[in-house]
Structure formats: C-alpha cells, structure tokens
C-alpha cells in the first residue's frame, strides 16, 4: 500500500494517524500536490494530496481513504457504528477539514 502526499498537509496527517493506529504498513511517498508522478496522478485526478494506492485500487480524499481503511482494517475501530455517533463523527471530520482548516 502506498500513501502519496507530504505530511505538511493536515489531510495527509489524518490518514497517517489512521494507518498508524491500525498498524497498517504503508510506503509513504511524500510528494507535493500536483506532482507529475503518473501513479499519483492516476490516484488523484485533481492532483490533491493525499492519495492512496492499494494494489490496483486507487483513491483520493482523506475522508474517503479513512472510510476505506476502516472497512478493510476494522480493528481497532476508529469510527462508531451507532447512527447518531457516526453522524457526529462525520460532522467532526468535515468540521476539521473545512471550518477549522480555514482558521
Ligand atoms: N478534501 C480533500 C482536501 C485535500 C487538499 O485540499 N489537499 C491540499 C493540500 S493540504 C491540496 O492538495 N491542495 C492542492 C489543490 O487544492 O489543488 C481531502 O480531504 O483529502
């Protein structure tokens, strides 16, 4: 599994924390956004970081990647199952990525 994106990005750091908490081995490729690397471009069509490559599966966006990792490596669980709790968890994730990030 490869994670593209420098850890200067808070979005990349979010995914690195998820990978570390779940004990998933990853090859970190610390490139910057819009890097011309064709494998990165294939994983992130808009050139944003982070992007993930897992075999022939590619995915961009930190939240999408987080949900993918949660499904593939359910233990330890980092997301709740209860409807209200998952609603709140998604709210905090979006808040961190948007309102808080802008500050
Ligand atoms: N919603 C995306 C946002 C990713 C993002 O905006 N990353 C910044 C770096 S911190 C980036 O790649 N910016 C380049 C651009 O917006 O074109 C995510 O959660 O991964």
The DSSP-derived string for 75-102 is SS--S--SHHHHHHHHHHHHHIIIIIHH
What's the gap in Å between 28 CA and the centre of ligand 1? 17
**Which residues' Cβ are closer than 6 Å to ligand 1?**
9, 11, 33, 47-50, 61-63, 97
Q: What is the pLDDT of residues 61-83, one digit of tens each?
A: 999 999 999 999 999 999 999 99
Is the pLDDT score of 103 beyond 90?
no
Mean pLDDT of the chain: 97
Mean pLDDT, to the nearest integer, of 32-61? Answer: 98
User: How confident is the model at residue 102, as a pLDDT?
Assistant: 80
CA 52 distance to own-chain centroid:
7
Paired tokens of 59: 């995915």
User: How confident is the model at residue 101, as a pLDDT?
Assistant: 82
User: How confident is the model at residue 42, as a pLDDT?
Assistant: 98
Mean pLDDT, to the nearest integer, of 47-58? Answer: 98
Mean pLDDT, to the nearest integer, of 87-100? Answer: 96
User: How confident is the model at residue 43, as a pLDDT?
Assistant: 98
Are the beta carbons of 52 and 43 closer than 8 angstroms? yes
The pair phi, psi for residue 46, each rounded to 5°, is -95, 5
What's the gap in Å between 52 CA and the centre of ligand 1? 13
How many other CB atoms sit within 10 Å of the CB of residue 18? 20
How many other CB atoms sit within 10 Å of the CB of residue 30? 14
- Nearest residue (by CA) to ligand 1, atom 1, is 61
Mean pLDDT, to the nearest integer, of 42-64? Answer: 98
């Amino acid at each position: 599994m490869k994670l593209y994106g420098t850890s200067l990005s808070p979005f990349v750091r979010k995914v690195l924390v998820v990978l570390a908490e779940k004990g998933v081995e990853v090859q970190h490729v610390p490139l910057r956004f819009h890097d011309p690397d064709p494998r990165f471009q294939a994983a992130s069509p808009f050139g944003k970081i982070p992007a993930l490559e897992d075999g022939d599966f590619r995915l961009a966006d930190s939240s999408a990647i987080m949900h993918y990792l949660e499904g593939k490596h359910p233990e330890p669980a980092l997301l709740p199952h209860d409807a209200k709790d998952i609603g709140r968890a998604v709210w905090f994730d979006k808040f961190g990525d948007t309102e808080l990030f802008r500050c």
